[in-house]
Structure 1
C-alpha cells in the first residue's frame, strides 16, 4: 500500500477556517442562545432546541453528519430530544463528479491510473460522509470496489470535531447528569482513525483472519497495489440489503440474525475487538443467507481487562450479586461507585443483557414494540442519575454500548427469534483473559493493525 497523495491533502488552516465558518455560524449561535437562557433563569425547550440544532446541521455534509448520527446512537451523549432529531439527518453526501474523481484518482495512483483497471465506473455506487465507492474491474477481470476519500477531509474532521465540543457544551447547559468528556474523546479518536484507509485495510486483514474458518461471514480482500491512505480498493462482494429480508420466512431471518450475532460478539469475546458502526449499510446478505461484513473504519480494540469486565458483569447479573457487578464496573473504568450508583447502572445492564440471561427462544425486545425498546429503562436510569450527581462513562463503554444497541436494532428489523442465551454462552465458553491478551496481540501484529489512540 502506497501513499502518493501530495501536500494539498494535509490538514490545512485555510480549509479548517472555511469549515469553522460553515459549521460554527449555526451551532455557535445556538450555543450562545442556550447559555443566555440559563443566565437569565429560563428553562430551555429541549424539543425546540433540538429542532434548531438539526436545522443548523442539516445543510452540511461530511464528518459533522457522521458525528451527529453517531451521537444519536450513544445513550445519554445528548438529550433524548436531540437524539431523535439527529437520527433523521441524512449521512449521504452528494457524490463527486467524474472530473473531480479523475483528479482524486490521479493524486492517489499517479498519471495513467485508468490503465491499471479493466474498467472503472464513472458514477459512484454509493456515497457517504467521508468518501464514495466506485465499482471497477481489475485487469484480471475481478470485480472490485474502490473507496475514494473526499478531498480535505482531515481539515474538515478537525474543524467538525472542534465544533462538536460546542454541541456537548449545549448538552452540559441542558443536563449535567452525564459527564460527556470521555464520550467526546472516544468519538474524536475513532473518527480520526476512520480517515486512515491503511488502518482500515489492516482491520480488514484482522477480520479476514478471525473468520477464516467461518464460511457464513465474508470479509473483503484488500488489493494493496491499488490502495493508499485515502483510496481503499477491495474485491466486490455481492449481496442484498438486510432490510429486504424483513418479509422472508422466520427460519431465514433467524439464520441471518444468528450470523450477525457471531459476526459481532465472537471477535469481541475472543480477540477484544468489535465492529463499532451498526449502520445497516455496513453489511449485506448473500443468497446462502451468509453475510458480507463491510466498512472497517470504526473498529474498536479493547483492553483485555475490559472484555473480562463485560463477561464478569454477565456472570454477576446471572448470580444476582451486587458486589460482583460493582467489581465488573470498576474493571470497565467506572469510578466513585456507591451502592446506589451500582443499582442504577444495573438497571441499564439488565436491559442490555436481558436476552442473554433468558434461556429460551425469544425476540430481542420480547413483546416490546421497536419504538419503545429501551426507552423506559433509559428514562429511569437518567432520572436516577440526576439525583446521584454526574457520572462519567469510561471511553470503552461508548462503542460497546453503541454496538450492542445497533445489533439489537438489526434483530428488531428482522423480527428474529433466537436463544440468545445459548449463543452468548457459546461465545464466552472457556473465556480466559490471559489467553485473550496473547491471542489479541498476535492477531493485531499479524494483520499490521496500529495501536489504538
Structure 2
C-alpha cells in the first residue's frame, strides 16, 4: 500500500495550540459550571447544561464531536441527561472545497493523481468528523469510494483528547459514581487508530476473512495502489439507509435485523472481534435485504478470556449463579467488586441480556422504546454513586456500546426475532482455546498483530 513518509502531516504545535484555544474556551466554560456546583454550591440545571454542551460540541465539529457521540452510547460514561443530548449530535462536518481536495489528493498520490482514475467527483458524497468520501471510477470502470482524511486532523485529535481529559477530571470530582479513566484510555486509543487508514485497510481484510461464509454481509474491497495512510480507496457498495426500511413488511425488517446480528456477533463470538461503531451511517441495506458494512476504523480485538466472560455472565444470570457472575465480571476486567456493586452491575446486565433469556420471538425491548433503557441506566448510575462508584474496564466500553447501538437498530426496525436461539447457536461450541487459534489465524491473514 503506497504511503509517503516525507509527506505525512505531523500534529503541528501551531495547529494543536489553535485547537486548544478553540476547544478549551468551550469545554473549559462548561466544566467550570460543574465545578461551581461542586465547590461553591452554585446550582445548575443539568438538562440545560447538557443542551449547552451538545450545542457547543456540535459547533466545533471534528473529533471531539465524534468522541461525544461515542460517549452518548456508553450508558456508564455519562448521566442520562448528557447521554440523551449528545446522542443528537450528527457526525458530520463541512466538506473540504474542491481546491482543498485537489491538494490533498496530490499530497497522497502525487501531482498526476487524476490520471489514475477514469472519473473523480471533487464534491464529497459524504462528509464526517475525520474525513470525507468521494465517488470515483477506476481505470477499469469499477465504481470506487475514496475516503480522504481532513488536513491537520491529527492536531485536532490530540488537542480534543487533552480537553476531554480535563472535562472528565472535573466531572469525576462532581460525580464519583463512574471513574472514566479507562474509558478515556480506550476512546483515545481507538480514535488515534482511526487516523491510520493503512490499519483500517487491514481491518477490512480481517472482516473479509471472518465473514467469508456470511453471504448476507458485504465488505468493500480495498484498492491498495490508490490508498495511503490518509487515503483509503475501496469498491463502492450501493445500498439504502436503514431508516428507509422501517415501514417495510415485518419479514423484511426481521431479515435485516438477522443479518445485522450476524454481521456484528459472528466476528465477536468466533474471533473475539467487534465493530465498535454501529452508527446509522456505517452500514446500508441492499435490495435483497443483505447488509453492507462501510466503516472499519473503530475495530476492537478482545482477549479470548473476555469473550468467555461475556458468555459466562449469560449463564450466571440465567441460573442465578452469583459466584459465576463475579468470576465473569473479573474476566471482563472489573476490579475491587463488593457484593453491593455486583448487585448493581447485575441490574444493568439483566437489562442488556434480557432478550437472550427467553426462547421465543420477541422485540429486542418489549416496551419498544429507548426511554426505558435510559431509565434503567439512570437508576444504575444513581446506585453506583451510592455504593462508592466503579471503574469500568477498557474492554467493557465498546462491547457495551455495540450492544446498545445494535439494540437501537433493532428498535428502529421493530424486529421480532428469537434472539435466544440466535445467541445459543453462536456459542454452542464455544471454546477459549479454539477462539484463540481462530483469532490468531485471522489477525495474521489481515497483517495485524495479536
Structure-2 separation of matches of 1:78 and 1:147:
31
| Larger deviation, residues 226-235 vs 339-348 | 339-348
Structure-2 separation of matches of 1:238 and 1:48:
40
1:317 counterpart SS class? helix
Q: How much does 1:7 deviate?
A: 4.5
Q: Which residue of 2 aligns with 1:400?
A: 399
Equivalent residues in 2 for 1:424-439 (5 A)? 424-439=423-438
1:346 aligned to 2:358? no
Conservation of the 8 A alpha-carbon contact between 2:308 and 2:432: yes
Q: How much does 1:70 deviate?
A: 1.0
Q: Which residue of 2 aligns with 1:197?
A: 197
Structure-1 separation of matches of 2:115 and 2:166:
47
Q: Which residue of 1 aligns with 2:440?
A: 441
2:300 counterpart SS class? strand
Conservation of the 8 A alpha-carbon contact between 1:197 and 1:231: yes
Q: How much does 1:5 deviate?
A: 5.8
Q: How much does 1:170 deviate?
A: 3.7
Conservation of the 8 A alpha-carbon contact between 1:6 and 1:107: no
1:227 aligned to 2:227? yes
Q: Which residue of 2 aligns with 1:391?
A: 390
Q: How much does 1:14 deviate?
A: 0.5
2:60 counterpart SS class? coil
Structure-2 separation of matches of 1:281 and 1:50:
24
| Larger deviation, residues 332-341 vs 44-53 | 44-53
| Larger deviation, residues 412-421 vs 2-11 | 2-11
2:306 counterpart SS class? helix
Identify if the C-alpha distance between structure 1 residues 8 and 302 changes in structure 2 by more than 3 Å, giving closer, same or farther. Answer: closer
TM-score (norm 1): 0.97
Equivalent residues in 2 for 1:103-122 (5 A)? 103-122=103-122
Q: Which residue of 1 aligns with 2:414?
A: 415
Q: How much does 1:29 deviate?
A: 2.0
Q: How much does 1:339 deviate?
A: 1.9
Identify if the C-alpha distance between structure 1 residues 56 and 375 changes in structure 2 by more than 3 Å, giving closer, same or farther. Answer: closer
Structure-2 separation of matches of 1:193 and 1:177:
29
Structure-2 separation of matches of 1:8 and 1:304:
36
Q: Deviations over 1:31-67 (max 9, x none)?
A: 2232233222334332222122223323212101101
Structure-1 separation of matches of 2:371 and 2:50:
20
Structure-1 separation of matches of 2:449 and 2:23:
31
1:9 counterpart SS class? coil
Contiguous gaps of at least 5 residues in structure 1: none
Count of equivalent residues: 450
Conservation of the 8 A alpha-carbon contact between 2:79 and 2:378: no
Q: Deviations over 1:209-240 (max 9, x none)?
A: 11112111100010000000000000011111
1:147 counterpart SS class? strand
Structure-2 separation of matches of 1:255 and 1:53:
38
Structure-2 separation of matches of 1:280 and 1:305:
30
Identify if the C-alpha distance between structure 1 residues 113 and 7 changes in structure 2 by more than 3 Å, giving closer, same or farther. Answer: closer
Conservation of the 8 A alpha-carbon contact between 1:4 and 1:110: no
Structure-1 separation of matches of 2:140 and 2:159:
42
Equivalent residues in 2 for 1:132-281 (5 A)? 132-281=132-281
TM-score (norm 2): 0.98
